[in-house]
Amino acid sequence: MTRARALTLAAPVALPLMLLALWALAAAHIGSPLFPGPGKVVLAAVQNFGTILDQMGATLRRVVIGFAIAAATMVPLGILLGRIRLLGWLFEPVIDMLATLPPPAIVPLVMLFAGTGDAAKVTMIAFAAAIPILMNTFEASKVRNAMNSLVARALHLGPWETMLRIDLPAAMPMILTGVRMAVAAALLVSVTSEILLATDGIGVFLQRQQENFQIAGGMAGILAIALTGLAVNAAILRIEKGLLFWHYRNDGQNG
Residues that bind another protein (CB under 8 A): 7-8, 11-16, 18-19, 34, 89-94, 97-109, 111-113, 184, 187-188, 191-192, 195-196, 202-203, 206-207, 209-210, 213, 215, 218-219, 221-222, 225-230, 232-233
Question: Least CB distance from residue 139 to another protein, whole Å?
Answer: 16
C-alpha–C-alpha distance, residues 121 and 198, integer Å: 10
Closer to another protein by Cβ: residue 137 or 193:
193
In the bound state with another protein, the residue whose beta carbon lies nearer, of 132 and 171, is 132
Nearer to another protein by Cβ, of 152 and 220: the residue is 220
Instruction: State the minimum distance, in angstroms, from the CB of residue 100 to another protein.
Output: 3
Nearer to another protein, 77 or 232 (CB): 232
Distance CA(108)–CA(87), nearest Å, equals 30
Alpha helices in 143-167 (DSSP H): 146-154, 159-162
Measured distance CA(113)–CA(240) in Å, rounded:
36
CB of 94 to another protein, least distance (A): 5
Integer angstrom CA distances of residue 3 from 6, 7, 8, 9, 18: 5, 6, 9, 10, 19
- In contact, 60 and 205? CB cutoff 8 Å: no
- Specify the residue, 25 or 230, whose C-beta has the smaller distance to another protein: 230
Positive or negative: CA dihedral 29, 35, 38, 41: positive
Instruction: Give the residue among 237, 114, 143, 127 at the shortest CA–CA distance from 188.
Output: 127
If the CB atoms of residues 9 and 150 are measured against another protein, the closer one turns out to be 9
Give least dist CB 246 to another protein, A: 24
Closest approach, Cβ 184 to another protein, in A, equals 7
CA angle 177, 233, 5 (to 5 degrees): 115
- Residue 72 CB, nearest approach to another protein (Å): 22
User: HEC states along 201-224?
Assistant: CHHHHHHHHHHCCCHHHHHHHHHH
